């Protein structure tokens, strides 16, 4: 990238926005997931350390039990739309460290037959959530304002792994 000198100060050209999170690559990955009937989808809050580590725990869990999971960043800059996420055969969709834009989680659950499992710890995010009576049965929100979502995600996947081990031993 070149810079230009204008008078006595340096002027940096505006960087081109060549990448976004609802990119052609992300939409192509979702299309492949449709074709391959991937059973799990994890969307994590980006940019957030809690979201990134939550995605890591989802990745470790699914690789350990050898079940495919598509993991994608979710940014409020150009968010996925609920229509983007229609994947036949999807069993679980994890929303890691966010609930999405207003009504996103509930709308996603209403338009899908899969189980939506969301983790959130910010009080401000609950203004975006639908009223409890509007929430479908397939939407489960793990919320605890006393601890971070990454801790809740770690505990959730650890318990699921322990449950999976005990089921396989039986």
Whether a cis peptide bond, with omega within 30° of 0, leads into 47 is yes
pLDDT at residue 126, as a whole number? 56
- Identify the residue whose tokens are 């009504």: 103
The pTM of this model reads 0.80
Write phi, then psi, for 163 (nearest 5 degrees).
-65, -40
Does residue 14 fall inside a structural domain? no
Tally the domains of the chain.
Answer: 1
Which tens digit of pLDDT belongs to each residue from 76-99? 777 888 888 888 999 999 999 998
Residue 109 belongs to a domain with what CATH number?
3.40.50
Provide the token pair at 38: 């991937």
> 67: domain range?
21-169
CB 99 within 8 A of CB 128: yes
Residue 5 belongs to a domain: no
What is the predicted pLDDT for the residue at 143? 85
3-27 pLDDT, tens digit each: 444 444 444 344 444 445 677 888 8
What per-residue confidence (pLDDT) applies to 67? 96
Q: What is the mean pLDDT of each run of 10 residues along the chain (170 residues)?
A: 41 43 83 94 93 97 96 86 88 93 86 90 59 72 87 96 81
Could you tell me the two tokens for 50?
A: 């809690």
Assess if residue 106 is contained within a domain.
yes
Q: Show the 3-state SS of 74-120.
A: ECCCCCCCHHHHCCCCCCEEEEECCCCCCCHHHHHHHCCCCEEEEEE
């Amino acid at each position: 990238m070149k810079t230009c000198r204008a008078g006595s100060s340096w002027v940096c050209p505006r960087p081109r926005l060549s990448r976004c999170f609802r990119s052609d690559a992300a939409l192509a990955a979702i299309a492949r997931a449709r074709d391959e009937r991937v059973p799990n989808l994890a969307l994590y809050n980006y940019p957030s350390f809690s979201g990134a580590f939550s995605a890591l725990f989802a990745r470790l869990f699914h690789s350990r039990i050898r079940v495919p999971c598509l993991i994608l960043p979710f940014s409020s800059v150009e968010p996925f739309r609920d229509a983007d996420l229609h994947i036949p055969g999807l069993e679980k969709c994890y929303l890691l460290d966010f609930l999405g834009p207003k009504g996103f989680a509930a709308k996603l659950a209403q338009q899908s037959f899969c189980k939506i499992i969301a983790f959130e710890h910010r009080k401000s995010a609950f203004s975006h959530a639908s009223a409890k009576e509007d929430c479908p049965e397939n939407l489960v929100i793990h919320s605890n304002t006393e601890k971070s979502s990454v801790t809740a995600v770690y505990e959730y996947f650890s318990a699921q792994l322990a449950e999976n081990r005990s089921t396989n031993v039986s």
